Structure 1
Amino acid sequence: MLIPRLKSYLSLVAAVLMLSQMAVAQAEALPDFTGLVEQASPAVVNISTHQKMPDRVASNNSQMPDLDGLPPQLREFFEHNMPKNQRPPKSDRQREVQSLGSGFIISADGYVLTNNHVIDGADEIIVRLSDRSELKAKLVGTDPRTDVAVLKIEGKDLPTVKIGNSDKLKVGEWVLAIGSPFGFDHSVTKGIVSAKGRSLPNDTYVPFIQTDVAINPGNSGGPLFNMAGEVVGINSQIFTRSGGFMGLSFAIPIDVAMDVANQLKTGGKVSRGWLGVVIQEVNKDLAESFGLDKPAGALVAQVLENGPAAKGGVQVGDVILSANGQPIVMSADLPHLVGNMKDGSKADLEVIRDGKRQTLTVTVGALPEEGQEMGASDGGSAARSSNRLGVSVVELTDEQKKTWDLKGGVVIKDVEDDSPAARIGLQSGDVITHLDNQAITSTKNFTEIAKGLPKNRSVSMRVLRDKRASFITFKLSE
């Protein structure tokens, strides 16, 4: 009896030793952030602003979150991350608002990087250093398109961060954020890189770094470090349904931010390359309708008159597959690539047109000021035509063609209830310029093409609505 018990005891001891060794190995494998924090923290600053803003008025929008009970800086943060149609309306009453954010010093003579939304509209900007001294900051310049701002404080031999290379960052790599969430200075949070090159709505020119680092109000504008203690990003946004951190944070790549900062410091503004096209994502149905093996590239939904793309021969319906040899996997890849090009530089675009690949060389232009890229639009009239899609269409007038810069197309006059057109969301006033990869020249031409549409296959249609063009797809069952 003694020997079996002894064997059992020894087995238990061995198992305990093995678990202990595994625990030690796991502990040794976890990163130690202490040295990084000691080295980098002195260059991280707290940013507070003061501004006069219109007071909020009541709204009967039931989808609008109730923000009245929040401190002012949290209310401003949540409104920034809220869809525009859910933001509270403003009145003419004025109130004093304080907001909090973070930033970091990039030069010993006092240049500071932060987010544009942290200091946007501020009447006064205060930078608090790690020794708790406070300095008034001068706004050097901002770039709302990338949400980057450059500040200047007076000082000598100030502590600075080390600037890294965000292109070398790898998914799964450990990263660390230092900032002032809820005003708690120099708070440290860690996580990993979840993805790279993320595109967010209304942020066309930033290929965001996605992380699971805990970011909260006050972290905006603070640095994201790699394990070498180098800044690889500026913490900018979170994805949230609750107003707080939910595991998805987004940082502006430091390569993008530094390029913007250098242009703001030297010229006071940021120049970007521009093609003059409106593009959209290529989904599975669109890929099938354009004869692509898989969804990829940027579909040209609109070519702006006298823009660089128009002069270079780009046409509506082209799918841009690469730019200067760099593949366009998602449509958002194209603005990132072209935006980094200089005015006057050449862009070799590989496109697929009518099922055939070809290369177009376009001279890149300079991105116009916001709101100047698109033209205007208005209504239409003429003879009617009906078709199997369930719409009545009319000819475009010469004035409409000139206004919209169109050579052809038809205007939808009526949409029948429960028709194929109604089911895909077509509306009266929409302009149809292409159907089944064919340009529409008249109501008669439209009816003929609609009559010959295939059944149970994805068909593309280009629609112009509210100054914007896009391709949609549908299938006819009969």
Structure 2
Amino acid sequence: MNNYRSPIWALALLAFSIFWVSSARSAQLPEFTELVKKASPAVVNISTVQGAEGSKPILGPNGQPLPDIFQEFFGRPHPRIDEGQRRPQSLGSGFIISDDGYILTNNHVVDGASQVIVRLSDRRELEATLVGADERSDLALLKIDAEDLPVVKIGRSADLQPGQWVVAIGSPFGFDYSVTAGIVSALGRSLPSENYVPFIQTDVAINPGNSGGPLFNLDGEVIGINSQIFTRSGGFMGLSFAIPMDVAMRVSDQLKEQGYVSRGWLGVVIQDVNKDLAESFGLKKAAGALVAQVMPDGPGDRSGLRDGDVILSFAGNPINLSSDLPHAVGATPPGDKVKVELVRGGKSLTLDVTVGELPTDPRQALSSGKPAKQANRLGVKVVELTSKQKGDLEINTGVVISEVLGGPARSIGLRPGDVITDVDNQPVDSPKQFSKLIADLPSERSISMRLIRRGRPGYITFKLPE
């Protein structure tokens, strides 16, 4: 009898174990039903009406449409509007932050629109007024004429940690109120398109139409605004990026109060510190932001910053990567005086730095803050090298790029801080000689240029237009 019952008990025990393990695993997974039920009414769909010229693709530095990687994906690409037509284009999402009708979304969702239409969860469609937009953070604040609206709960993105569950609600490909979930993959990400936003990276499935939609934590609080993805295909590939809500609310408050956003500015060109640079500057580890250039008469220059300084802390915030510095500076109100800890000549030093205001024209942010002059045919402004720069690079001639204003310079990837030593196999002696050299170059022929970037020389080629 015992031999007969033993296998039965073993099977029963196995079945119970499988059920227990399955139940335990299920208990560990979050339940999103109540969160979605409470939060969805405050999420909206946003459509726009473009002018007769229709919608345009985003153009890169070379004047061509951006590649798939890091393209602003929500609603892009979308069909052009034939000349003379004006019809709504479903572009993205948004969410209501006040019961009297203020709505946050992405700037690229409403950029260039002649009319913005907001569709609420109860299917009402209302025309919205653009209160203000900020291209640098890709945020826009809208206002609709309505009262007693459902609103989202605003959370603190500063409390986020990698590994936390998050939920997105939006309208991917026009499918309203689609819910996707994932985890926070990383914090404080810097993207090529924006240096002043410390993006939240997630693996939440985000696709065209989610743009401007909310990212929730498990408490049902908005902690981010879905903004960009990394993609080679144009669709979701596991890398999504959201604007932190702490940043978004600062921008929203300023847009509401003054219609534009003020950011802190140092007026310096910086670069990462690698192992070799750390050793040469007497640092114990590769950390900080190396000041490659201090713009003349900029806030950093007036506060005593110098080329070659390695900034390790700004206003009490540690600067581990160079990308940490723009985040910290941009969040500092212009006019504030802050402590900056740095290493200069192998010695630690603390400066009192008065933060300036980032110019509204991004070209001026790369100069002394004075109006930019017209660029030469290459599209750059250059200045003389200092004796120290020549000594550090072990060169006798050359010029350094202070501004990249457009043209061929952008398409070939020139950057402020690049040192140009030769053009078309001719040495460059001064800014004046460089300008004349560029002016005399032939058009539509490959021209060689020798550059030194971060101490490393190399050659690139370019063509000048007619």
TM-score by length of 2: 0.77
Q: 1:95 deviation in Å?
A: 6.2
Q: Is residue 263–residue 269 contact of structure 1 (8 Å, CA) maintained in 2?
A: yes
Superposed CA offset, 1:424-456 (max 9, x none) = xxx965999xxxxxxxxxxxxxxxxxxxxxxxx
Q: Describe the shift of the 1:74–1:284 C-alpha distance in structure 2 as closer, same or farther (beyond 3 A).
A: closer
Q: Describe the shift of the 1:428–1:39 C-alpha distance in structure 2 as closer, same or farther (beyond 3 A).
A: farther
Matches within 5 A, 1:29-68: 29-52=28-51, 53=53
Aligned to 2:285: 294
Superposed CA offset, 1:245-288 (max 9, x none) = 00111000111001100100011111111111111111223223
Aligned to 2:421: 412
1:352 paired residue among 334, 343, 358? 343
Q: Describe the shift of the 1:169–1:65 C-alpha distance in structure 2 as closer, same or farther (beyond 3 A).
A: closer
Distance 2:259 2:65 in 1: 37
Aligned to 2:147: 156
Q: Is residue 393–residue 411 contact of structure 1 (8 Å, CA) maintained in 2?
A: no
Aligned to 1:471: 454
2:166 paired residue among 166, 175, 192? 175
Distance 2:353 2:320 in 1: 20
Superposed CA offset, 1:209-242 (max 9, x none) = 1111110000000000111111000000011010
Superposed CA offset, 1:45-89 (max 9, x none) = 0000111336889xxx9x97999xxxxx9895249xxxxxxxxxx
Distance 1:343 1:49 in 2: 35
Distance 1:127 1:403 in 2: 40
Aligned to 2:26: 27
Distance 2:429 2:2 in 1: 89
Letter in 1 for 2:124: S
Distance 1:403 1:121 in 2: 27
Q: 1:3 deviation in Å?
A: 3.8
Distance 2:219 2:318 in 1: 30
1:251 equivalenced with 2:242 (yes/no): yes
1:119 paired residue among 101, 106, 110? 110
Distance 1:349 1:136 in 2: 47
Q: 1:100 deviation in Å?
A: 1.4
Q: 1:108 deviation in Å?
A: 0.6
The range that moved more, 289-298 or 127-136, is 289-298
Matches within 5 A, 1:325-344: 325-344=316-335
2:130 paired residue among 119, 130, 139? 139
Q: Describe the shift of the 1:44–1:331 C-alpha distance in structure 2 as closer, same or farther (beyond 3 A).
A: same
Matches within 5 A, 1:63-462: 76-78=75-77, 96=86, 98-369=89-360, 370-375=362-367, 377-378=381-382, 393-394=396-397, 412-413=421-422, 429=428
Superposed CA offset, 1:291-311 (max 9, x none) = 322221111111011111101
The residue matched to 1:207 in structure 2 has which SS? strand
**% identical equivalent positions:** 56
Q: 1:379 deviation in Å?
A: 8.6
The residue matched to 2:454 in structure 1 has which SS? strand
Q: CA RMSD in A?
A: 3.8
Structure 1: tracts of 5 or more residues without a match: 68-72, 80-89, 382-386, 417-426, 433-463
Letter in 2 for 1:225: F
Superposed CA offset, 1:305-363 (max 9, x none) = 11111011111111100012211011111111111111211121111111111111111
Q: Is residue 286–residue 473 contact of structure 1 (8 Å, CA) maintained in 2?
A: no
Superposed CA offset, 1:15-66 (max 9, x none) = 2211111111111221111111110100000000111336889xxx9x9799
Q: Is residue 393–residue 412 contact of structure 1 (8 Å, CA) maintained in 2?
A: no
The residue matched to 2:5 in structure 1 has which SS? helix
Q: Describe the shift of the 1:309–1:35 C-alpha distance in structure 2 as closer, same or farther (beyond 3 A).
A: same
Distance 1:130 1:105 in 2: 11
Letter in 2 for 1:472: G
Q: Is residue 393–residue 413 contact of structure 1 (8 Å, CA) maintained in 2?
A: no
Q: Describe the shift of the 1:113–1:431 C-alpha distance in structure 2 as closer, same or farther (beyond 3 A).
A: farther
Q: Describe the shift of the 1:265–1:302 C-alpha distance in structure 2 as closer, same or farther (beyond 3 A).
A: same
Q: Describe the shift of the 1:346–1:20 C-alpha distance in structure 2 as closer, same or farther (beyond 3 A).
A: same
Aligned to 1:423: none
Letter in 2 for 1:212: D
Distance 1:414 1:236 in 2: 40
The residue matched to 1:263 in structure 2 has which SS? helix
Q: Describe the shift of the 1:159–1:217 C-alpha distance in structure 2 as closer, same or farther (beyond 3 A).
A: same
Aligned to 2:438: none
The residue matched to 1:235 in structure 2 has which SS? strand
Distance 1:430 1:215 in 2: 51
Aligned to 1:15: 14
Distance 1:148 1:96 in 2: 24
Count of aligned residue pairs for this structure pair:
399
The residue matched to 2:350 in structure 1 has which SS? strand
Q: 1:401 deviation in Å?
A: 12
Superposed CA offset, 1:368-390 (max 9, x none) = 12221234735999xxxxx9x9x
Letter in 1 for 2:6: K
Distance 2:334 2:150 in 1: 36
Q: Describe the shift of the 1:401–1:267 C-alpha distance in structure 2 as closer, same or farther (beyond 3 A).
A: closer
The residue matched to 1:240 in structure 2 has which SS? coil
The residue matched to 2:76 in structure 1 has which SS? helix
Structure 2: tracts of 5 or more residues without a match: 368-372, 374-380, 386-390, 405-417, 432-449, 458-466
Letter in 2 for 1:167: A
Q: Describe the shift of the 1:413–1:100 C-alpha distance in structure 2 as closer, same or farther (beyond 3 A).
A: closer
Letter in 2 for 1:293: K
Q: Is residue 411–residue 431 contact of structure 1 (8 Å, CA) maintained in 2?
A: no
The residue matched to 2:366 in structure 1 has which SS? coil
Superposed CA offset, 1:396-428 (max 9, x none) = 7xxx99999xxxx99624799xxxxxxxxxx96
Letter in 2 for 1:373: A
Distance 1:218 1:402 in 2: 39
Distance 2:174 2:181 in 1: 18
Aligned to 2:434: none
Distance 2:165 2:334 in 1: 37
